[in-house]
Amino acid sequence: MRYSERDALIPEVPVPSADPVLEATHSRATGGAPAAWTAPLATGPLSARLTLPGSKSLTNRELVLAALADGPSTLRRPLHSRDSALMIEGLRNLGVGIEEIPGDGEFGPDLRVTPGELHGSSIDGGLAGTVMRFLPIVAALALGPTSVDGDPYARKRPMATTIEALRGLGIEVSDDGRGTMPFTLHGTGEVAGGELAIDASASSQFVSGLLLAAPRFRNGLTLRHTGERLPSLPHIRMTIECLAARGVRVEEPEPGVWVVAPQPIRALDVQIEPDLSNAGPFLAAALLAGGTVTVGGWPTETTQVGDELLRILPRLGATVTRDGERVTIDGGVGVRGGAPVRAVDLDLAIGGELAPPIATLLAFADGTSRITGIGHLRGHETDRLAALATEIGRLGGEVVEFDDGLEIRPRPLHGGAWEAYADHRMATAGALAGLVVPEVTVDDIGCTAKTLPEFPELWDRLLDRDPHATRWESLPL
C-alpha cells in the first residue's frame, strides 16, 4: 500500500489560520492534488551565487526562547515558511505577542516577540517536528487545557516520548492510549520539574523541547536519555548554545544527561543564520551538473548539521573552497562530462536530514554506496528510507533498504513521476534528479514551503543564470 493511500484513510485536520503560507500548503499536506511540476533540465554547467533564507531549526528554537524570556526579543532575518508560521501561530494561541517589524533581510520582515501570560489553547503542529515536540512543553507552563494535533501523516510520527515526558512532569495528558496526536494536555500554570528519564532514540527534538523550557520549571530539570543511540546530536548542541546565548547554562555531567537549574531566560536581539541544510540540493547540483555554485553568508562557526556538506561533498568528488562567509562548490565541467560522483560509505547519524540529496547524488555514482545511521528518518515527514528507495527505483535506479540505512546501486535512470509524500526534502531530491534526467515530474513541489517557499523560483534561477535575479546572481564563466 502506498503512503498516499494510507494517508487518505485518515480524516483531514482543519487549520484555523489565515496565514497564506499555512493555507498554501495545508491542502497538499492533507491530501489535496497539486499540479505536477516538471523538473528543469540543466543544459550546461552551472554558474550561480545564492543567498538562503534563515534556518528553520534556529528560527523555531529562538521563537520558543523569546516566548519564555524575561522581556521582548527581536529575531532578525528569521525564516518565513510553513514550519515557522505554525510555531508563531501556536505561540500566539498560548498568549505570546509576535509582530512583524521592518528588517534588512531579503526574505521577509524581522520578528518582535513579547512574552505574555500563558493560557491553554490549541496547537496545530502541521508536519513540523519542532512545533509538535517543543510547544506541548511550553503549553505545560500554561493554565488550562491545550489540544495538540497536526496533518494526517503527523498522527503517525513518534510522539509517545513527549506524552510520557509530560506525564513524568506531573501533567495530565489525554490521548486515548495512542501515544500519538491528537492529544490534550492540562496545564496548571507551572511545572515542578526535577528528574526525568526519556528514550529519545527516535528524535533529538524530544531532548531539545524539554531543555528549552527547563529554565522555567520550578525545580529546573535533570534529564537522562535511556535509549541506545541518540540521533542528530548537533541539534542538541544547537539548543544548548541558543540557551547559553540567553544566559542559561546547561551542564552535561555525563553523556546523555543534561542538568538545567531554574533561572531566567534573557531577552535577546538575535540574527538567524541561513539554513545550511536547505543548501544541500543547490550545492549538490554543482557536483551533478558540473560548474560552480556559491553560497553567501555561510557562518564560520555553526551548530547546523548542514555544515557537514563541506566535509561530505568532497568525498563525492566536489571541490569546496571558502572565502570568509562564502562557500563555493565546484563540480567540474560539463553536464555529464565531468568527473563522476564517487561511491562512498557514509554514516549520517549526526546529519540525517542531508540523506535525501546525498542519496540522490549517489544514484549517479561510479559504484555501490551505503548510507548508515539514518533509521530515525523512518519517523520523519514520511518514511524517508522507503520513499527514497521507491522514487529512485521508479526512475530505474536500485536502492536496497536495511534497518538503519540504504544501499544505492547506480543504474541508468530515465524520466518518470517522483512522489514527494508531502515531504519538502523528498521534493527537492526529485528536483535534483531531474537536473540531469529528462522528464522527471515532482507531484508536489509546493510542499517545499515547509522550510523554503522560494524553492521553485530559486531552482529556476539556478539554471537560468539570470543576471537580474534578486537572490541569484551570475558568476563570471
For Cα atoms 366, 371, 375, give the angle at the middle one, nearest 5 degrees: 155
Measure the CA–CA gap between 227 and 230, rounded to whole angstroms.
7
Q: Is 174 annotated as a binding residue?
A: no
Q: Is 203 annotated as a binding residue?
A: yes
Backbone CA torsion sign across 214, 217, 222, 226: negative
Q: Is 204 known to sit in a ligand binding site? A: yes
129 annotated ligand-binding residue: yes
Which residues lie closer than 8 Å to 18 by C-beta, 6 or more apart? none
Annotated binding residue 229: no
Q: How far is CA 316 from CA 313, 392, 397, in A?
A: 5, 18, 18
Q: What residues act catalytically?
A: 353
Task: Check the annotation: does 425 bind a ligand.
Answer: yes
* Residue 380 among known ligand-binding residues: yes
Task: Work out whether the CA dihedral 192, 197, 199, 204 comes out positive or negative.
Answer: positive
The CA-atom distances, in angstroms, between 368 and each of 104, 210, 318, 406, 408 are: 46, 40, 18, 10, 6
| Residue found by looking up cell 547506480 in the block | 410
Count how many Cα atoms sit within 13 Å of the Cα of residue 389 in the half-sphere of its side chain. 18
**Does residue 277 have a known ligand-binding role?**
no
Considering only CA atoms, which of 81, 439, 461 is closest in space to residue 282? 461
d(CA 88, CA 60): 9
Q: Does 232 count as an annotated binding residue?
A: yes
CB-based contacts of 79, cutoff 8 Å, min separation 6: 53, 54, 55, 56, 59, 107, 272, 275, 451
Q: Which helix (H) or strand (E) holds 270?
A: strand 269-271
Grid coordinates representing 346 are 557514509
Question: Does the annotation flag 353 for ligand binding?
Answer: yes
Cell numbers standing for residue 290 = 558540473
Between CA 331 and CA 320 the distance in angstroms is: 9
56 is in an annotated binding site: yes
CA 26, chain centre distance (Å): 17
Q: What are phi and psi of 346, to 5 degrees?
A: -125, 135
Helix-then-strand count for the chain, H and E:
14, 24
95 belongs to an annotated ligand binding site: no
Please report, in range form, the residues annotated as the binding site for phosphoenolpyruvate. 56, 129, 157, 205, 384, 425, 450
Please report, in range form, the residues annotated as the binding site for 3-phosphoshikimate. 56-57, 61, 203-205, 232, 353, 380
Please report, in range form, the residues annotated as the binding site. 56-57, 61, 129, 157, 203-205, 232, 353, 380, 384, 425, 450
